């Protein structure tokens, strides 16, 4: 679904971004993971949001193509209605979910492709800090640890563009995935 909310006339360009809606089946029904933005954040302070953010330059890393389990740029771009660069939105959704919620959709390279694997919490904490400080990229970390991103576990669900006239605008692709076990 695409929501054309852009009324035009804005000189602020919409920045490519990706969001991951994490759900799980629970009693009495579905649960959705929401994060609360810091009260002093410069944009939508205190709001409850899905994990997500801007597509970073590292999300375009060609090395991620070989680490993208179940998807390539051609297929990703077709699903998003883009000529190219679609895979970076899936990667950004996974990376942002790691950075903001500590969930990482990966599996070992040498394991059968039948479900995600969740690295140890201490390893994820170190990875989050390393990415934040620019010490390592997600592709390098996955390669060093023998992991691939399970992008096929994400389903593309919507495309929204922040309306014109706002000080910050985002061209956001929304994905949904089942919460990781544990």
Asked if the peptide bond before residue 28 counts as cis, ω within 30 degrees of 0, the response is yes
DSSP state of 61: -
pLDDT given at position 7: 45
Here the tokens at position 36 are 């609360």
DSSP state of 49: E
pLDDT given at position 173: 98
Is the pLDDT confidence value at 4 over 50?
Answer: no
Domain count along the chain? 1
Q: What is the CATH number of the domain that holds 100?
A: 3.90.79.10
Lowest-confidence pick of 89-98, 133-142, 172-181 = 133-142
pLDDT in tens, 45-56: 888 999 999 999
Q: How far apart are CA 52 and CA 15, in angstroms?
A: 13
Domain that holds residue 31: 2-178
CB neighbours of residue 175 within 10 Å: 24
Residue found under tokens 């993971």: 33
**What is the reported pTM?**
0.85
pLDDT given at position 6: 43
């Amino acid at each position: 679904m695409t929501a054309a909310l852009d009324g035009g006339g804005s000189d602020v360009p919409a920045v490519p971004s990706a969001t991951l809606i994490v759900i799980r089946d629970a009693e009495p029904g579905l649960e959705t993971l929401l994060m609360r933005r810091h009260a002093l954040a410069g944009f939508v302070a205190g709001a409850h949001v899905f994990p997500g953010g801007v597509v970073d330059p590292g999300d375009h890393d060609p090395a991620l193509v070989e680490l993208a389990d179940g998807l390539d740029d051609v297929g990703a771009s077709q699903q998003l209605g883009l000529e190219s660069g679609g895979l970076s939105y899936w990667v950004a959704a996974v990376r942002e979910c790691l950075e903001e919620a500590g969930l990482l959709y990966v599996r070992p390279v040498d394991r059968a492709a039948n479900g995600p694997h969740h690295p140890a919490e201490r390893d994820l904490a170190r990875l989050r800090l390393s990415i934040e400080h620019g010490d390592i990229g997600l592709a390098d970390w996955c390669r060093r640890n023998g992991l691939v991103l399970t992008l096929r576990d994400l389903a593309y669900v919507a495309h929204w563009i922040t309306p014109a006239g706002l000080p910050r605008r985002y061209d956001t692709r929304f994905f949904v995935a089942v919460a990781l076990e544990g």
